Amino acid sequence: MKVLIVGAGFTGAVIARELANNGHVCHIIDQRDHIAGNCYTQRDKDTNIMEHIYGPHIFHTSDEEVWEYINNFGEFYPYINRVKTTYNGEVYSLPINLHTINQFYKKSFSPSQAKKWIEQIADNKIEEPKNFEEQALKFIGKDLYEAFFKGYTKKQWGCDPKKLPASILKRLPVRFNYDDNYFSHKYQGIPKDGYTSIIEKILEHENIKVQINTSFYKDMIKDYDHIVWTGKLDEWFDYSEGHLGYRTLDFIKYTEEGDYQGTAVMNYGNEKVPYTRISEHKYFTPWEKHEKTIYFKEYSRECGVDDIPYYPIRLVDDKTILEKYLQKAEREKNVTFAGRLGTYSYMDMDVTIKEALTLSKNILKKLDRI
Ligand code: UDP
């Protein structure tokens, strides 16, 4: 069968590969001038540092199938994401751990003392947190919430944390020990040759044809047995039910001699600092040596129709609109909606790959029935 896949990020590439392995002919197009979507990496011309063009990506998973799958397409070097945050001129460790708590409250608590302390200051009246702010108040209390989450989250999402789902905060752990690994997954790493090379290898198959700089037009549909759409869900339906909200990011790049901040990611909790974080990319490849450095100030703002969408916001209004699009999507029998944008969900790379593998099985069954 002939399948058109729109979007050459992780989702599109994995689905193309799975269908191609099963004898189907896949044509994958992307409107940008490169593959790999927002995971795109390339070496900076001036410094040769591996640059994550659309912001830092650290691969982490506890899923054996996904880890095995991705390792077929490139070598991963071990990398532990350790994030720092600056608040009122002091640097703290994230995610909130015993070091953060002791430094913030000028204490030297043991794990059990810290736990007791946090239980006392947390808001115990909240039983079922209904939003991001309630979730934070219940788990860490007002002081830590206001220092590390309130301002950052306002900048990142452009709205009051009371309007955001509690699930966003549930991404981050609170630890009563000195473990400052940002993630809790079994496997964590960064590809030695960057993500573009991984996706290139996934797409390297005689049944896959890749075309970049190519936009999708509805009259392409007639030439294919099935379409996989990894673009924005609302865009497929020409925004007929309204626009789903996304955040986009702007990165301001700086190049300097030596070292800028001594770590890969520094967050900024104060609302009045206009950027959310600064990432210094040579720290994502600690096995390489570089005399110069590149770093990026990251600014978040509302995503316009022509901007690159990064994060689905998923406020109450968005969810109402999403329901309508999902019903419409259900009726499109020859189209599969996939990925962060195609399903309007906040997925990490490993979940994206897992979902793409599952969807591929469904598509294969569908193609068998045609
Ligand atoms: N967050 C925060 N302060 C921080 C880091 C994260 O308030 O210093 C909040 C913010 O709302 C963010 C969410 O926690 O969107 C999830 O953080 P994560 O690091 O998982 O976000 P991502 O790396 O996907 O942008």
Q: What is the mean pLDDT of residues 113-142?
A: 95
Answer whether 153 contacts ligand 1 (Cβ < 6 A): yes
Answer whether 276 contacts ligand 1 (Cβ < 6 A): no
Are 76 and 190 spatial neighbours (Cβ–Cβ below 8 Å)? yes
Q: What is the mean pLDDT of residues 253-263?
A: 98
Q: What is the mean pLDDT of residues 240-250?
A: 98
Using most ligand atoms within 8 A of CB, pick from 168, 180, 267, 271 the residue to mutate for ligand 1: 168
Write down the domain spans for the chain.
2-35+203-241+314-369, 83-169
The token pair that represents 139 in the structure block: 């788990």
Are 17 and 361 spatial neighbours (Cβ–Cβ below 8 Å)? no
**Would residue 175 show up in a list of annotated catalytic residues for this protein?**
yes
Higher pLDDT, 314 or 94: 94
> Any idea what DSSP says for residue 288?
S
**Would residue 82 show up in a list of annotated catalytic residues for this protein?**
no
Q: Is the pLDDT of residue 134 over 90?
A: yes
| C-alpha of residue 153 to centroid of ligand 1, in Å | 7
Q: Give me the pLDDT at residue 311, please.
A: 95
Question: pLDDT band at residue 360, thresholds of 50, 70 and 90?
Answer: very high
Q: What is the mean pLDDT of residues 316-326?
A: 94
Question: pLDDT band at residue 286, thresholds of 50, 70 and 90?
Answer: very high
**Would residue 314 show up in a list of annotated catalytic residues for this protein?**
no
Superfamily classification of domain 2-35+203-241+314-369:
NAD(P)-binding Rossmann-like Domain (3.40.50.720)
Using most ligand atoms within 8 A of CB, pick from 153, 155, 162, 352 the residue to mutate for ligand 1: 153
Q: What is the dihedral of CA 231, 233, 238, 239, to 10 degrees?
A: -130
Distance CA 195, CA 153 (A): 28
Q: What is the mean pLDDT of residues 329-353?
A: 97
Q: Give me the pLDDT at residue 39, please.
A: 98
Nearest by Cα to 148 from 102, 82, 88, 80: 88
Distance CA 200, CA 73 (A): 9
**3-state SS, residue 54:** coil
Q: Is the pLDDT of residue 276 over 90?
A: yes
Q: Give me the pLDDT at residue 275, please.
A: 98
**pLDDT tens digits for range 213-222:** 999 999 999 9
Q: How many CA atoms lie within 13 A of 350 on its CB side?
A: 19
Q: Is the pLDDT of residue 171 over 90?
A: no
Q: Is the pLDDT of residue 316 over 90?
A: no
Q: What is the mean pLDDT of residues 6-34?
A: 98
Nearest by Cα to 278 from 257, 258, 292, 293: 293
Q: Which atom of ligand 1 is nearest to the CA of 164?
A: 11
Q: How many CA atoms lie within 13 A of 249 on its CB side?
A: 19
Are 245 and 233 spatial neighbours (Cβ–Cβ below 8 Å)? no
Question: pLDDT band at residue 370, thresholds of 50, 70 and 90?
Answer: confident
Q: What is the mean pLDDT of residues 39-54?
A: 98
| C-alpha of residue 133 to centroid of ligand 1, in Å | 13
CA-to-CA dists, residue 23 to 7, 94, 207, 256, 311, angstroms: 20, 47, 7, 50, 34
Overall pTM > 0.85: yes
**pLDDT tens digits for range 143-166:** 999 999 999 999 999 999 999 999
Q: What are the residues facing 278 on neighbouring strands? A: 266, 297
Nearest by Cα to 205 from 14, 10, 11, 5: 14
CA-to-CA dists, residue 65 to 17, 36, 138, 193, 358, angstroms: 16, 21, 35, 22, 11
**Would residue 277 show up in a list of annotated catalytic residues for this protein?**
yes
